[in-house]
Structure 1
Amino acid sequence: MADFSQSYLGQLRQLVGDRLLIVAGTRIVIENETGSVLLDLRADFEVWALPGDACEPEEDAAQTIIREVREESGLTLESVTPFGFASDPHWETTTFPNGDVCRNFSLMFTTRAFSGTPRPLDGEALEYRWFDPQDLPEMVPNHLRSIEAWMRWKAGEGFQLI
C-alpha cells in the first residue's frame, strides 16, 4: 500500500482532519484496441472507477495522471489528451469511508497510447478490468459521468465541462 501520509493530500489531512478539502486532480479514460475502457475496483469504496488521483505540488496535470497510472497499475502512458474538466460540486464532492471529504476539480484525460498489462500495485485498486463503455458495472457516480462526457467528446461535441 502506498504511504498516503507522505503525499501532499496526506500531509494536508494531518493538519485539517476530515474537513472538506478542495483538491486538484486528474482521471483518465484508457481505451484499448477493441474500444473497451480500463476501470479499477477501488479498495476504499469497493466499486469500479477510472484511474486517477490528486496532483502533487511539483506536477502539472499530465505528469500527475502519467505518474498515478504507473504507480497504481504498472501501465506506461505514452501520451494523454485532455477532453474535459469536472467540477460540479454536486457530483465532485466525495465523502470517503474514513470520513474525509474532498471537493474535486479534475482534468479528464484519454489515451490509446500505453504499454504494459494493468495489475494492482499499491493497494488502492483491488483489480483492473476492461469494460465495454456501453455495458459498465456499478461505478463511482462522478467517474461514470466522466465516461459519458468522454463518449460525447468522441462523438465530436468538443471539450466537456461537467
Structure 2
Amino acid sequence: MKHNDTVLSDSYILRLRKKVGSQLLLNPGGRAIVQNKAQEILLHKRRDFGFWDLPGGGAEVGESAEQCVIREVYEETGLTVESFEPIGFASNPELEEVIYPNGDIIQGFSLILHITKWSGSLKASSESTSLEFFKIDKLPEMRRNIRITIDKFLEYQSSGKFQLF
C-alpha cells in the first residue's frame, strides 16, 4: 500500500472545522495495537494532550477504516503495517467523546486492529513527543478509552471473539 503524505492542514476534519467550528463531529477511524516480539505494546506520547495513546486517528476521504489505521501507524510511528487482524470496534459515546485542548469535540468510531506484522524503524511524528513499547502490566497513565481498548484486546486474545465496546 502506498502511503498518502497528506498535509495535516488539508485533512478532512480540519476542512470541516473551518465550516462548523468546534462543535461535535462524528469521526470514523481506528487505532492499532502494535506489539514487539516481547509482546509489549507500542504507545506514543501525544503532543496535544501530553498523555500516552495508541497509534490511530480519523479517516480521510476515500480511505477505508483499515487503510486509515495503516496510514496513521505509518504517520505516527514510521512503521509499515504488513499484516493485521481486526479485533474490535469502539463506539460507546460515553468513552469515545474527546474534547481537544483547543475546544474541538469529536465522537469517535474506531476499528481496532492488532498489527501482526510490521517493518521499519520507529520515528516519532510532529504529533508525538515520544514512542515507546510497554509491558502490559506496566502501562503508563492514559485516557480511559485507550486503557479499555487494551483490556478488550486482552479479552480478544483469550476468547477469540471480536469485541464491541
Using the size of structure 2 for normalisation, the TM-score is: 0.93
Aligned length: 160
User: What does residue range 2-151 of structure 1 map to in structure 2 within 5 Å?
Assistant: 3-121=7-125, 123-151=126-154
| Structure 1 residue 79: Cα displacement | 1.0
Provide the C-alpha distance between the structure 2 equivalents of 1:158 and 1:9, rounded to a whole number of angstroms.
Answer: 32
Deviations 1:67-126 (A, max 9, x none): 1111221101101111000011110001000100000010111013001121212x1111
Identity of aligned residues (%): 39
| Structure 1 residue 5: Cα displacement | 2.5
Provide the C-alpha distance between the structure 1 equivalents of 2:20 and 2:84, rounded to a whole number of angstroms.
Answer: 33
The one-letter amino acid paired with 1:48 is: W
The one-letter amino acid paired with 1:75 is: L
Provide the C-alpha distance between the structure 2 equivalents of 1:19 and 1:130, rounded to a whole number of angstroms.
Answer: 35
Structure 1 runs of 4+ with >2 Å offset? 2-5
Using the size of structure 1 for normalisation, the TM-score is: 0.95
The one-letter amino acid paired with 1:159 is: F
| Structure 1 residue 4: Cα displacement | 2.8
Provide the C-alpha distance between the structure 2 equivalents of 1:138 and 1:53, rounded to a whole number of angstroms.
Answer: 19
